[in-house]
Amino acid sequence: MNVELRHLRALAAIGDEGTITGAAAVLHVSQPALSRTLEQLESRLGIQLVERTTRRLALTEAGRTLCERAHLILNQLDDALAQAAAGPRPLRVGFASAALGDRTVPLLRSWREEHPGTPVRVHRHDDPDVALRRGEIDAAVLRSAPAPGRGLAAQPLYRERRLAAVPEGDPLARRTAVRLHDLADRRVVICSTAATTAGLWPDGQRPQTFEVANVDEWLTAIATEEAVGVTAEGTAHSHPHPGVRYLPVSDAPPVTVHLVWPRTPTHPATHAFVDHVRRTTGAAEQPPRPPTPATPGEYRVLPDGR
């Protein structure tokens, strides 16, 4: 088909930027030149990759699939060239809002002691699932299992309680725990990058919800008394906030934390890292923990961040 790297770079940039103008600027080429490159790619493949109208530009289903693969190919090429010049790069682990909670630092320290020649870098991504499929990261911590058919392997690690996040001055903040019906008459803010609240309430009892783009906006909406939130236990450790109080939701099911990686690894140390995480979290030796009832203990965020 005589497809060249410039064709893949063009499609990847168009998919990322959403416009020919933005993609041309990123690639430092003219808009007409980029349009010709895209037309060449479509002609050589015999399929439409981009839908164009006077008002919008969108990738077709085939375009989205090829764009994702193009990112993977280009990232693998960059890795190969960088490794040839400077040696192996660090292993990259992504997460959306919380990595492994209070397990994160001990796990990374023990990895460094056992594998001093292979550093691990932790990266926050709005969508770690997409970053994995594009080859931007080598493994990810997710609080939902990846959809089948995407070339990803998953290891359930452990379960976390669900917590309510309420404003410090809210009457609920004086409790030691809440139930789902205590939140049903409130506005509930959902973080689009780490939503774990879908389907918690039965039909007819669901609260009013709205969505924000990231965990920082989620915390701000709660701290300013615009809404309350529901999250996994790891968020309380990773994102303490002076205006937000975390407390258990006693009747909500727990969240399973997964480690996810490509079935065709993008880093030679991937399987060693997976084994290390299994061993460190106990996932290989014991099944996931069953739901645990709420206790009188609570998560309270203090001004000094403890």
Within the chain, which residue ranges are assigned CATH 1.10.10.10?
5-85
pLDDT of residue 290: 42
Mean pLDDT on 220-235: 95
User: Which long-range CB contacts under 8 A does 70-74 form with residues at least 24 apart?
Assistant: 70/8, 70/9, 70/11, 70/12, 70/15, 71/12, 71/133, 71/134, 71/135, 71/136, 72/133, 72/134, 72/135, 72/266, 73/8, 74/5, 74/8, 74/9, 74/12
Whether the pLDDT of residue 78 is over 50: the answer is: yes
Q: Does domain 5-85 have CATH number 1.10.10.10?
A: yes
Mean pLDDT on 192-206: 77
Within the chain, which residue ranges are assigned CATH 3.40.190.290?
90-306
Residues in contact with 233: Cβ distance below 8 Å, sequence separation at least 6, in sequence order: 101, 160, 161, 162, 163, 255
Q: How sure is the predictor about 295, in pLDDT bands with cuts at 50, 70 and 90?
A: very low
Whether the pLDDT of residue 305 is over 60: the answer is: no
Q: Helix/strand/coil (H, E, C) string of 216-260?
A: HHHHHHHHCCCCEEEEEHHHHHHCCCCCEEEEEECCCCCEEEEEE
DSSP 303: T
Fold of the domain spanning 90-306: D-Maltodextrin-Binding Protein; domain 2 (3.40.190)
Nearest to 252 by CA among 231, 227, 236: 231
pLDDT of residue 198: 61
DSSP 88: P
Whether the pLDDT of residue 287 is over 50: the answer is: no
Mean pLDDT on 63-71: 91
* Paired sense of beta strands 120-124 and 91-95, if any: parallel
pLDDT, tens digit, 9 for 90 and up, residues 134-144: 889 999 999 98
Nearest to 263 by CA among 151, 121, 184: 151
pLDDT, tens digit, 9 for 90 and up, residues 89-135: 999 999 988 899 999 999 999 999 999 999 999 998 888 888 898 88
Averaged pLDDT of the chain: 87
Whether the pLDDT of residue 297 is over 60: the answer is: no
Whether the pLDDT of residue 306 is over 70: the answer is: no
pTM comes to 0.75
Of the chain, the percentage scoring pLDDT greater than 70 comes to 91
